[in-house]
Amino acid sequence: MAKKKAVVVGGLGMIGRHVISALEDDGGWDIVTLSRRKPDFKTKAKAIQIDLSDKKEAQAKLGKLTDTTHIFYSALAGGIAAENVEGNVNLVKHSVGVIAPIAPKLQRVVLAQGGKYYGVHLGQHKTPSVETDPRHLPPNFYYDQQDALVRLQRGKKWSYSLVRPEVVVGFAQGIPLNGAAIVAVYATLCREMGVPLHFPGPESSFNAFNKYSNADLLGRSMLWMATEPKCANEAFNVTNDSILRWCNIWHKIADYFGCQKGVVMPMSLTNFMADKEPVWQKIMRKHKLTADLFSGTSWEFADWNFNRTWDTVLEDVKRIQFGFHEVKDSWEDFNDAFDKMRKNKGIPAR
């Protein structure tokens, strides 16, 4: 059987690195990862350092990927702002748009989207959210990326799949949008400074429904979408399929980190973390940590996440009906991510 070749666009991101892990565990893949930096984790993937905002550089560096059979796309341009349409569409055009025309054996492109497709960033929206829900009023770069991909695919033999996770929980350093790291860093600082672990959002956020996405589960789901014929030209929500309310796990987080249990106390973590990097560096030296989870973490993302006063529930029925049945308990998701952080010296041992 001919070996498959995967190109992972945005291979150093939270999603991309777990796609690489899923491919390596599956075996039988040649893997190429595209990113600005070299991988900071162990991988057999060939790394191409590239600025995909530069069309000429993309054409020069990607011109030899003629044997590509699958593309996994999870890159971001300039953060998570849904309004950054041009930058994010260009990344698709300068990666998929360059590789697809020169790769006659290309079979499937898997494009990562997210809950913003349904307007979770705007406030109250329809829940549960399903794949056939209509788009909200633009701008939203997910819409434009999808439309660009559909235009590239029209009349071609290859097909695409769209994956829509919610906040992704897993271990990775230097990733701004890391659902577990923001909690782990905040809790570690509270313990070291001897203050209670207060929930930093309002009561309504403390009690709102959420469904998050385990990073390993997400990576495996994207591998499934890439190789399952039924997934051609289909969109799938992928969460843990486990409802999360912060009020049900916040005490468990406090226990895990050895913190005093706090109360609901709305505050801006962006403001409170502004002067905490020196404290974090002392913690790293004290506990001999080697993975810096503070650096690069987006506290603006943390504030947005802890202040979502509305329910955010993406429905997983479709992907289960199509054949991907894996689920994950919400607390186990965070617990496992914290354990990985400890194992990789990102947070102190117990």
Q: Provide the residue ranges of all domains of the chain, joining segments of one domain with +.
A: 4-167+214-237, 169-211+243-312+329-343
Helix (H) or strand (E) holding 336: helix 330-343
Hey, which bits of 19-147 come out as E strands?
29-35, 46-49, 70-73, 108-112
pTM of the predicted structure, to 2 decimals: 0.96
Query: Measuring CA to CA, which residue among 127, 136, 125, 179 is closest to residue 313?
Result: 127
Q: Which two tokens stand for residue 85?
A: 């349409």
Token pair 């895990």 is found at 256
Question: 2-6, 26-30, 71-75, 190-194: lowest mean pLDDT where?
Answer: 2-6
Identify the CATH class of 4-167+214-237: alpha beta
Q: Collect all residues with Cβ–Cβ distance below 8 Å to 239 and sequence separation of at least 6.
A: 165, 166, 211, 212, 213, 314, 316
Token pair 């769209």 is found at 162
Tell me if 106 sits within 8 A of 158, measured CB to CB: yes
Using DSSP's 3-state secondary structure scheme, residue 33 falls into strand
Residue 296 has pLDDT above 90, yes or no: no
Tell me if 53 sits within 8 A of 87, measured CB to CB: yes
Per-residue confidence (pLDDT) for residue 197, from 0 to 100: 98
Residue 79 has pLDDT above 80, yes or no: no
Per-residue confidence (pLDDT) for residue 80, from 0 to 100: 65
Hey, which bits of 181-300 come out as E strands?
197-199, 213-214, 234-237, 261-264
